[in-house]
Amino acid sequence: MALFCRAAYLLLKPSRPVAACISAAARQYSSGGQYDYIIVEKRGEKQNVGFIQLNRPKALNALCDGLMSEVGQALDDFEADGGVGAIVITGSDRAFAAGADIKEMQNRTFQECYGGNFLSHWNRVSTVKKPVIAAVNGFALGGGCELAMMCDIIYAGEKAQFGQPEILLGTIPGAGGTQRLTRAVGKSLAMEMVLTGDKINAQEAKQSGLVSKICPVDQLVLEAIKCGEKIASNSKLVSAMAKEAVNAAYELTLAEGNRLEKRLFHSTFATEDRKEGMSAFVEKRQASFKDK
Ligand code: CO8
């Protein structure tokens, strides 16, 4: 496991507005900073997979505000890094994430939540252009399940458990749980999970279409990195188009989605990578994509 020179990715933790003033390139090479709640590395033989490990083990990776801000910063950096073609987000063997931080939310008022658009920055995970893979071992509950579902692909360890237990706390999912879960597993199972708070295991998650692969616990991250490497070996430009087209299936009618797909398909013909991919096939050689 090649440890990415962390300093290259870690910020000096300036306040968000100050950080925003520093260019992405400059931020990548700032040094001396340290994330408090996540570990950030580059993985894969070619160091082309961005790796984010949630690292708040005592709280089962409860997603406090600081942790999600750091995830957002790491994603910004990977998005700006031309060498990275896919991103893996994982937690620990015991917990991917046990949800939003209940202790942090406990005394919030409606006025604070509504007025301050509470936790709206979580959305960054679903707006990244590069493909994101969630590698879920252990609990993925509440916001943890929602975080996994914001990713493009979910791999589960054999002991993973998924759930939306917010109802047991007197609230409901607030980061897409009612929407993405329903689209992933269908109405009946989503309703049951959201209304009872019951969890499903990895096998049920696979059967219902929530996850695409189940792996042994100790192989999960390796498998997710392998998938990331496979994705990163393709054109990043065209991968972004493919991701945009698949995601459109969640938001558009079939006719609108097909139209968007066609436009994006046509657009690939404006890229050098499409030319290279087809030429390589005809010439019986490996394609060498330049992300152009
Ligand atoms: N928040 C804060 N702390 C947590 C959380 C959490 N979500 N989950 C676990 N912890 C802490 C516990 O308080 C405990 O800390 P301490 O040792 O200081 O008491 C530590 O983690 C270990 O937890 P347990 O002792 O409870 O461990 P168990 O193995 O007995 O149980 C469970 C594990 C089943 C995961 C249990 O901890 C649990 O039920 N956790 C809460 C799960 C939950 O309800 N999640 C949903 C939270 S609400 C939410 O996510 C809303 C999302 C809205 C997002 C909106 C964005 C816009």
CA distances from 197 to 8, 104, 164, 252 (A): 41, 21, 6, 30
Confidence at residue 14, expressed as pLDDT on a 0 to 100 scale:
38
Residue 249 contacts residue 259 (beta carbons within 8 Å): no
Share of the chain above pLDDT 90, in %: 84
Per the annotation, the verdict on 143 as an active-site residue is yes
Nearest residue (CA) to ligand 1, atom 2: 101
Is residue 87 within 8 Å of 132, Cβ to Cβ? yes
As a whole number, mean pLDDT of residues 13-37 equals 46
> Of the listed 91, 143, 163, 177, which one is catalytic?
143
Ligand 1 geometric centre to CA of 260 (Å) = 41
User: Distance, CA 67 to ligand 1 centroid (Å)?
Assistant: 15
Residue 224 has pLDDT above 60, yes or no: yes
Kindly provide the residue ranges of all beta strands, DSSP E only, lying in 186-262, ordered along the sequence.
200-201, 213-215
Q: Does pLDDT of 30 surpass 90? A: no
How many A from CA of 103 to the centre of ligand 1?
Answer: 9
Tell me if domain 2-232 and domain 236-282 are identical in fold: no
Q: Does domain 236-282 have CATH number 1.10.12?
A: yes
State the Cα–Cα distance between residues 238 and 248, nearest whole angstrom: 15
Contacts of 261 (CB under 8 A, 6+ apart): 245, 248
**pLDDT tens, 186-216?**
999 999 999 999 999 999 999 999 999 999 9
What rounded mean pLDDT belongs to the chain?
Answer: 90
Report, as an integer, the average pLDDT of 99-117: 92
| 148 pLDDT more than 80 | yes
Structure tokens at 53: 């490990």
pLDDT at 117: 83
Q: Is the CB of 177 under 6 A from ligand 1?
A: no
Residue 221 has pLDDT above 50, yes or no: yes
- Report d(CA 292, CA 284) in Å as an integer: 21
Strand partners, 153: 133
Nearest to 231 by CA among 178, 155, 165: 155
Residue 119: its pLDDT value, please?
Answer: 82
pLDDT of residue 180 exceeding 90, the answer is: yes
Q: Annotated catalytic, 95?
A: no
pLDDT at 277 over 90: yes
Rounded-to-integer distance, Cα 55 and Cα 57, Å: 6
Q: Which residue did the predictor score with more confidence, 34 or 276?
A: 276
Q: Is 238 in the pocket of ligand 1 (CB under 6 A)?
A: no
Would you kindly state where each structural domain of the chain is located, as residue ranges?
2-232, 236-282
The closest-lying atom of ligand 1 relative to the alpha carbon of residue 165 is 44
Residue 130 has pLDDT above 60, yes or no: yes
If pLDDT is split at 50, 70 and 90, which confidence band does 275 have?
very high
Distance CA 190, CA 180 (A): 9
pLDDT digits (tens, 9 = 90+) for 37-76: 999 999 999 999 999 999 999 999 999 999 999 999 999 9
Please name the residue whose Cα sits nearest to atom 41 of ligand 1: 98
Residue 15: pLDDT over 80: no
Residue 4 DSSP label = P
Joined together, the tokens standing for residue 280 give 């390589």
> Quick one: 2-232 is in which CATH superfamily?
2-enoyl-CoA Hydratase; Chain A, domain 1 (3.90.226.10)
CA distance 89 to 133: 6
Record the tokens describing residue 69, joined without a space: 């801000």
More confident residue, 280 or 25: 280
Task: Tell me if residue 166 is catalytic.
Answer: yes
Per-residue pLDDT averaged across 13-21, rounded? 36
194 in contact with ligand 1, CB cutoff 6 A: no
Q: How confident is the model at residue 283 (pLDDT cuts 50, 70, 90)?
A: very high
Query: Hey, which of 37, 55, 56, 60 would you mutate to test ligand 1's pocket, going by the most ligand atoms within 8 Å of its Cβ?
Result: 60
From residue 53, alpha-carbon distances to 33, 97, 221 in Å are: 17, 11, 10
For residue 248, give Cα distances in angstroms to 127, 129, 245, 254, 257.
12, 13, 5, 9, 6
What's the 59 CA to ligand 1 centre distance in angstroms?
7
